[in-house]
Amino acid sequence: MNNCCYQNNYDKYDWILFYEIDEFINLHNYTNVKKFLYEEKFKNYQIIYLSLILHTDNNQLHYENRPLSERFPKISKAYFEVKSILKGHIPNITINNIHTLSTEYASCCDGYGRPSKIFGVNAIVPDYTNYYIDHYYSKSTEEFIDKINKGDPVYNTESYKMARIDKLAQQITFTKEKIEMIENGTGLSLSKFKRLYYY
């Protein structure tokens, strides 16, 4: 899907950003993403990598009508993913994974314009100082259940849903109440997490 997006639009735009609806770009003192991207420091680069900050569920079970930054200030420490901003007008590129675009065909840098070489999701030290992405993956348990039930436009199998729950388990602390809410809300069995957390 990301590859199709780029192949269909690479000749129309100077930069293409690959982000999701639960991700928010933090660019420190820049008030406009265009001003950031057209800085001289990025002139000779084709990929800009920004670290993702993963926010936990803050042990919230239910939705609250408040800004995400207020509801979920806690950060998961074990998170080393990046997301890419890819320069347009580069033909013959195949995008397999937007977290780790191949560096064989393009010059890469971080948000400061420093050369960066990305070989894998866990191959960098995350930089959360000025230029990064806030990722609210789970939000509350209730909102995570809605996310699971909505499914994915490409993958919507039970195994894919369980993979999402496995990812959640790496980011939050499961409780009996959370597990039971997810089971009741999705119809999925979380027996392996029951054994880990309260059996």
pLDDT digits (tens, 9 = 90+) for 84-103: 888 888 776 767 666 666 55
Q: Which of 89, 119, 135 is the last residue of a domain?
A: 135
pLDDT of residue 152: 73
Strand 108-109, strand 47-54: pairing = parallel
Q: Which of 85, 106, 135 is the last residue of a domain?
A: 135
**pTM for the model:** 0.82
pLDDT of residue 123: 46
Could you say which DSSP state residue 58 is in? T
Domain count, the chain: 2
Domain that holds residue 182: 141-197
pLDDT of residue 122: 46
The predicted-structure confidence for 119-155, as pLDDT tens digits, reads as follows 544 445 666 778 889 999 999 999 999 999 987 766 6
Please check whether residues 57 and 124 belong to one and the same domain: yes
Angle at 195 between CA 191 and CA 197, to 5 degrees: 110
Please check whether residues 170 and 112 belong to one and the same domain: no
Please check whether residues 17 and 107 belong to one and the same domain: yes
